């Protein structure tokens, strides 16, 4: 069982950034500035999003734009600009193996690739510009289910930060001008129990207060770092030696003038001081290939993972200090409000929406918890393979399967499937929302549904 789903741990498509206090933030109904949208929360409200659409009849299909290459990064949106990344090999062929399988095989990416950034008009799907960030044979390998462009970009409305892992970190303006580029070294995570295996880097950049936060849990000298957004210069770096290779993106918790960086991990899940990088608290006994992004809601930090011996869900109080690891026979302590020993998700970041936590596993099992108490409200199977994380709007949950079927589920403690809509293409990336429109990134297209 330990290797059953080892195949897909290459990229934490479920990655993004999170911020608790939204009072000082602009209206985000039209913005989706990073993985899982505003503050990484995975939802927006006060919009009217579709229940049913059809690719065959084009019902509710606003536009559909072909995008070449292969990428599992999500779209990001600011005002009328939509950004995506991709990696295109010189043979113009794509090697992608989807479904539930347990192989740890690497893809044979030994040809020259172009690592590109695209900017599209959000309203029409027209490509406004494209830029080649890097050209060459990939410096690190990927899993057969991954891509060479797994990391979702991030924007603050002025700059666009794009992470291509071993191929570098880039910052562009909205006209496509390169502001700066930084070589972060070899980013080649795999599985810590199988040295030498490389599955592809996936941790997305986080922008907060004119700084960039990076989590780089790689085989040699893992670390987290904060960089200056304007220049790319490193402000601080904290070692995470002893941590397993991780595919998750960090989150930001900010309240009452105190900000900490929250990271998923196996032995070093925890919080770090945003200003100094000093570790504040840590929690061990997570899954040994951590992928889901931490979630912040209800003044709690939700942590989730599922691989190897452990598959827990934790609801951690943000005032945690020191080592808060649970005793073997305990489900809560001074700093852990509630937890589940087993049942966490391997790939997907959970969704906390209107008082409930929705946890979707790779095999399609969807569990709804009371987010404050951990009480299970329902368990239902969607009976397909999933990699993308769920999103929500307008009282509805959207879950996109690898086969490109989007399950629309009514939010709340009772399971109700509203509809199932086919995108007619493989879908590995988490969707985006802006206004009343859903944006899906499939293997070959960007699709706007309104």
What's the pLDDT tens digit per position in 152-201? 999 999 999 999 999 999 999 999 999 999 999 999 998 888 888 999 99
Report the distance separating Cα 33 and Cα 17, nearest Å.
Answer: 10
- The Cβ of residue 58 has, within 10 Å, a number of other Cβ atoms equal to 11
CA neighbours within 13 Å on the CB side: how many for 176? 15
CB 160 within 8 Å of CB 172: yes
Q: What is the CA radius of gyration of the chain?
A: 20
* CB neighbour class for 403 (10 Å; exposed up to 12, middle 13-18, buried from 19): middle
Report the distance separating Cα 362 and Cα 416, nearest Å.
Answer: 20
Segment 44-62 shows an average pLDDT of 96
Residue 439's nearest CA partner among 20, 11, 61, 12 is: 61
Report the distance separating Cα 403 and Cα 96, nearest Å.
Answer: 13
pTM reported for the whole predicted model:
0.93
Give residue 196's region: left, alpha or beta (phi > 0; psi -120 to 50): left
What's the pLDDT tens digit per position in 335-356? 999 999 999 999 999 999 999 9
pLDDT computed for residue 102 by the predictor: 81
Tell me the pLDDT of the chain averaged across its residues: 92
Report the distance separating Cα 290 and Cα 95, nearest Å.
Answer: 25
Report the distance separating Cα 299 and Cα 317, nearest Å.
Answer: 7
End-to-end CA distance of the chain: 41
What's the pLDDT tens digit per position in 38-52? 989 999 999 999 999
User: Which tokens sit at 330?
Assistant: 């305990």
What's the pLDDT tens digit per position in 397-409? 999 999 999 999 9
DSSP label at 124? Answer: T
What's the pLDDT tens digit per position in 306-342? 988 889 999 999 999 999 999 989 999 999 999 999 9
Report the distance separating Cα 69 and Cα 62, nearest Å.
Answer: 23
Residue 209 banded pLDDT, cuts 50, 70, 90: very high
Report the distance separating Cα 131 and Cα 178, nearest Å.
Answer: 9
Sheet holding 295-297, edge to edge: 295-297, 300-304, 313-316, 336-340
Longest dimension (CA), the chain: 57
CATH 2.60.40.10 fits 6-449, yes or no: no
Of residues 287 and 58, more confidently modeled: 58
pLDDT computed for residue 93 by the predictor: 65
pLDDT above 90 for 117 = yes
pLDDT computed for residue 29 by the predictor: 77
Report the distance separating Cα 81 and Cα 311, nearest Å.
Answer: 38
Q: How many helices (H) and strands (E) does the chain have?
A: 0, 34
Report the distance separating Cα 347 and Cα 211, nearest Å.
Answer: 27
Q: Which helix (H) or strand (E) holds 350?
A: none
pLDDT computed for residue 195 by the predictor: 87
Among residues of the chain, what percentage have pLDDT more than 90?
82
Angle among Cα 251, 195, 266 to the nearest 5 degrees reads 30
Write the DSSP string, 352-408. Answer: EETTEEEEE-TTSEEEEEETTT--EEEEEE--S-B-SPPEEETTEEEEEBTTSEEEE
Q: Any idea which of 20-29, 232-241, 245-254 has the lowest mean pLDDT?
A: 20-29
Segment 265-288 shows an average pLDDT of 94
User: Which tokens sit at 26?
Assistant: 């602009």
pLDDT computed for residue 193 by the predictor: 85
Residue 190's nearest CA partner among 108, 105, 109 is: 105
Q: Which helix (H) or strand (E) holds 102?
A: none
Q: Which residues contact 317 (CB under 8 A, 6 or more apart)?
A: 299, 300, 301, 334, 335, 336, 337
pLDDT above 60 for 23 = no
Of residues 445 and 285, more confidently modeled: 445
Phi, psi of 40 (to 5 degrees): 65, 15
CA neighbours within 13 Å on the CB side: how many for 296? 26
Q: Any idea which of 89-98, 107-116, 189-198 has the lowest mean pLDDT?
A: 89-98
Report the distance separating Cα 165 and Cα 188, nearest Å.
Answer: 8
Residue 389's nearest CA partner among 40, 156, 154 is: 40
Residue 1 banded pLDDT, cuts 50, 70, 90: very low
């Amino acid at each position: 069982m330990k290797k059953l789903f080892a195949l897909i741990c290459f990229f934490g498509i479920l990655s993004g950034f999170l911020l608790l206090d939204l009072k000082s933030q602009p209206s985000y109904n039209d913005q989706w500035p990073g993985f899982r949208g505003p503050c990484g929360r995975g939802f927006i409200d006060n919009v009217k999003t579709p229940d049913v659409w059809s690719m065959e009849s084009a019902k509710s299909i606003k536009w559909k734009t072909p995008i070449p290459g292969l990428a599992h990064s999500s779209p990001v949106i600011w005002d009328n600009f939509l950004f995506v990344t991709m990696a295109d090999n010189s043979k113009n062929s794509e090697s992608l193996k989807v479904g539930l399988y347990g192989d740890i095989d690497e893809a044979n990416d030994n040809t020259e690739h172009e690592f590109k950034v695209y900017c599209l008009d959000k309203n029409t799907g027209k490509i406004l510009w494209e830029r080649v960030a890097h050209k060459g044979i990939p410096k690190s390998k990927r899993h057969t289910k991954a891509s060479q462009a797994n990391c979702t970009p991030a924007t603050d409305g002025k700059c666009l930060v794009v992470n291509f892992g071993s191929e570098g970190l880039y910052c562009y303006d909205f006209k496509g001008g390169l502001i700066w580029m930084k070589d972060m070294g070899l980013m080649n995570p795999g599985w810590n129990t199988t040295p030498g295996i490389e599955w592809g880097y996936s941790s997305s950049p986080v922008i907060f207060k004119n700084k960039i936060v990076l989590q780089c849990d790689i085989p040699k000298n893992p670390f987290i770092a904060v960089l200056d957004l304007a220049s790319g210069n490193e402000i601080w770096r904290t070692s995470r030696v002893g941590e397993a290779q991780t595919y998750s993106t960090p989150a930001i918790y900010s309240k009452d003038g105190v900000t900490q960086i929250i990271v998923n991990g196996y032995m070093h899940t925890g919080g770090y001081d945003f200003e100094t990088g000093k570790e504040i608290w840590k929690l061990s006994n997570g899954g040994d290939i951590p992928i889901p992004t931490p979630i912040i809601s209800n003044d709690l930090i939700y942590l989730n993972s599922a691989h190897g011996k452990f598959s827990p869900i934790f609801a951690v109080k943000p005032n945690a200090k020191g080592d808060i690891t649970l005793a073997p026979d305990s489900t809560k302590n001074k700093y852990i409000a509630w937890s589940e020993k087993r049942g966490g998700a391997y790939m997907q970041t959970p969704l906390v929406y209107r008082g409930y936590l929705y946890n979707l596993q790779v095999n399609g099992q969807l569990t709804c918890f009371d987010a404050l108490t951990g009480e299970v409200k329902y368990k239902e199977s969607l009976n397909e393979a999933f990699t993308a994380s769920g999103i929500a709007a307008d009282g509805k949950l959207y879950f996109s399967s690898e086969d490109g079927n989007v399950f629309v589920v009514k939010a709340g403690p009772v399971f109700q499937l509203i509809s199932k809509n086919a995108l007619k293409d493989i879908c590995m990336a988490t969707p985006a929302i802006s206004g009343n429109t859903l944006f899906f990134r499939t293997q070959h297209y960007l699709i706007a549904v309104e």
